[in-house]
């Protein structure tokens, strides 16, 4: 009955009786459990953590000094971000520190009277006093939202073999966002990021025209992480370069590597259609090609051939599209392949792209909302009559 009431075993009862009888005073001695020094206690590691936490700027509560003596960190920080920065700090300075997030959090919580900044009731009262000024800005903000903005573009590539994410970014005054840009980025990725010993490359893409209409990719988790960080961030995006830096600084298990595209990176692949290749509407079986329904496209070393399917079924046969010109078909493969080494892809653009004159007008009207250092960037943007563009079409 006693054991059932307290939920203990017979062995535990026998042990307590033994301890009591073996004591000279009749009182059980302590077991000594927990008397050792914590295994994770290392004065050097804790000192390094303390110094790292102290390196962050602190501020008092402006409206609640009578109520608390706590100091506050910026609202853009949290313990998880600080721990990530601490690991980067150890890596950069050559410290072999494998201490856990739990230890960093313990040092932060038990050593300092520091809190993450939140808005108090008193602060809300001060903000409410400024409500009238906010109302006066409503109309300006509404009109500003309707104004046309300068687009910043991005193509994301997740390397599943190396577990790395690459963000190829540019803005609309450098290049557009058609098939030539997509092909140029894939070309740049393959040339710069794929090892020479790789002989087989598999790619999956999202649901865009001429792609395999895949609806969920690993890149989507990175994109949601960026959106979540943007909602929590106090940073302001004024120019495209701010987007580049913002994506670079998004924290996570997989770092986001940003590659800033330049105009020389965009090649005119459509120029091949005026050289060794020709655009065709029928495959080798004389059947009409529907690019929008293609879900599987395969290339091999045979230049000018595209194998494709309208299904992801592995058992279904590939259809063949031969893009070679008539004269090219009669040449043997060795002779044809040797001639490809002389092909040089021209640049798609030979100067800054123009933007619509109405968009330029909208951008200039928004300059009072930006810091002065960003004004010249928008003033230098060229309009329709001042830019030169080589062949480009989003439908190609």
Per-residue confidence (pLDDT) for residue 170, from 0 to 100: 97
Average pLDDT over residues 21-38: 66
- Look at 53 and 27; give whichever has higher pLDDT: 53
- Look at 127 and 256; give whichever has higher pLDDT: 256
- Look at 5 and 231; give whichever has higher pLDDT: 231
Closest CA to 251 of 54, 58, 83: 83
Q: What percent of the chain has pLDDT over 90?
A: 30
pLDDT band at 188 (very low <50, low <70, confident <90, very high): very high
Whether 41 contacts 34, CB under 8 Å: no
Mean pLDDT of the chain: 80
- Look at 175 and 270; give whichever has higher pLDDT: 175
Domain-wise residue ranges, the chain: 1-36, 43-121
pLDDT band at 389 (very low <50, low <70, confident <90, very high): very low
Which of 78-92, 124-138, 250-264: highest mean pLDDT?
250-264
Least confident of 55-64, 155-164, 304-313, 327-336: 327-336
- The DSSP bridge pattern shows strands 71-73 and 114-116 to be parallel
User: Which tens digits make up the pLDDT trace of 210-243?
Assistant: 455 566 788 888 899 999 999 988 888 999 999 9
Whether 254 contacts 164, CB under 8 Å: yes
Average pLDDT over residues 12-36: 72
Per-residue confidence (pLDDT) for residue 395, from 0 to 100: 41
User: Which tens digits make up the pLDDT trace of 303-327?
Assistant: 888 999 999 899 999 999 998 887 5
Indicate whether 336 pLDDT > 90. no
Indicate whether 339 pLDDT > 60. no
Average pLDDT over residues 144-157: 83
Per-residue confidence (pLDDT) for residue 38, from 0 to 100: 59
Closest CA to 311 of 296, 289, 321, 298: 296
Indicate whether 329 pLDDT > 80. no
Q: What percent of the chain has pLDDT over 70?
A: 76
Per-residue confidence (pLDDT) for residue 168, from 0 to 100: 97
Per-residue confidence (pLDDT) for residue 67, from 0 to 100: 53
Tokens 């009559």 belong to residue: 385
Give the list of residues 6+ apart from residue 194 with CB closer than 8 angstroms, or none.
201
Indicate whether 18 pLDDT > 70. yes
Indicate whether 209 pLDDT > 90. no
DSSP per residue, 166-189: EEEEEETTT---SHHHHHHHHHHH
Per-residue confidence (pLDDT) for residue 385, from 0 to 100: 55
pLDDT band at 125 (very low <50, low <70, confident <90, very high): low
Per-residue confidence (pLDDT) for residue 393, from 0 to 100: 42
Indicate whether 333 pLDDT > 80. no
Whether 210 contacts 294, CB under 8 Å: yes
Task: Give the whole-angstrom CA distance, residue 105 versus residue 185.
Answer: 42
Which of 5-14, 142-151, 172-181: highest mean pLDDT?
172-181
Closest CA to 173 of 381, 390, 360: 381
- Look at 72 and 34; give whichever has higher pLDDT: 72
């Amino acid at each position: 009955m006693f054991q059932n009431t307290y939920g203990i075993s017979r062995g535990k009862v026998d042990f307590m009786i033994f301890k009591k009888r073996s004591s000279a005073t009749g009182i059980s001695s302590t077991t000594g459990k927990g008397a050792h020094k914590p295994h994770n206690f290392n004065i050097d590691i804790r000192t390094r953590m303390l110094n790292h936490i102290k390196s962050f700027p602190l501020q008092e509560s402006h409206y609640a000094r009578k109520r608390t003596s706590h100091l506050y960190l910026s609202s853009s920080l949290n313990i998880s971000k600080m721990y990530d920065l601490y690991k980067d700090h150890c890596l950069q300075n050559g410290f072999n520190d494998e201490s856990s997030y739990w230890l960093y959090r313990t040092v932060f919580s038990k050593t300092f009277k520091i809190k993450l900044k939140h808005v108090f009731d008193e602060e809300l009262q001060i903000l409410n006093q400024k409500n009238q000024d906010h109302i006066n800005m409503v109309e300006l903000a509404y009109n500003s939202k309707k104004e046309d903005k300068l687009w910043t573009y991005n193509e994301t590539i997740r390397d599943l073999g190396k577990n790395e994410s690459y963000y190829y970014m540019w803005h609309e005054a450098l290049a557009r966002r058609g098939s030539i840009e997509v092909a140029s980025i894939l070309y740049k990725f393959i040339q710069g990021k794929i090892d020479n010993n790789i002989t087989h490359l598999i790619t999956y893409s999202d649901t865009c025209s001429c792609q395999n209409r895949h609806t969920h990719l690993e890149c989507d988790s990175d994109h949601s992480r960026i959106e979540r960080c943007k909602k929590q961030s106090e940073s302001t995006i004024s120019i495209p370069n701010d987007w580049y830096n913002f994506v670079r600084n998004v924290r996570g298990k997989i770092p986001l590597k940003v590659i800033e595209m330049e105009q020389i990176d965009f090649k005119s692949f459509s120029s091949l259609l005026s050289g060794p290749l020709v655009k065709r509407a029928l495959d080798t079986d004389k059947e009409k090609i529907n690019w929008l329904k293609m879900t599987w496209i395969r290339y091999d070393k045979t230049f000018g051939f595209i194998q494709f399917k309208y299904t992801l079924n592995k058992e279904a046969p590939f259809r063949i599209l031969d893009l070679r010109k008539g004269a090219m078909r009669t040449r043997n493969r060795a002779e044809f392949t040797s001639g490809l080494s002389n092909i040089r892809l021209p640049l798609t653009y030979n100067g800054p792209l123009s933007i619509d004159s109405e968009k330029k007008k909208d951008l200039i009207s928004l300059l009072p909302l930006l810091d002065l250092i960003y004004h010249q960037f928008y003033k230098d943007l060229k309009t329709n009559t001042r830019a030169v563009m080589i062949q480009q079409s989003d439908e190609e």
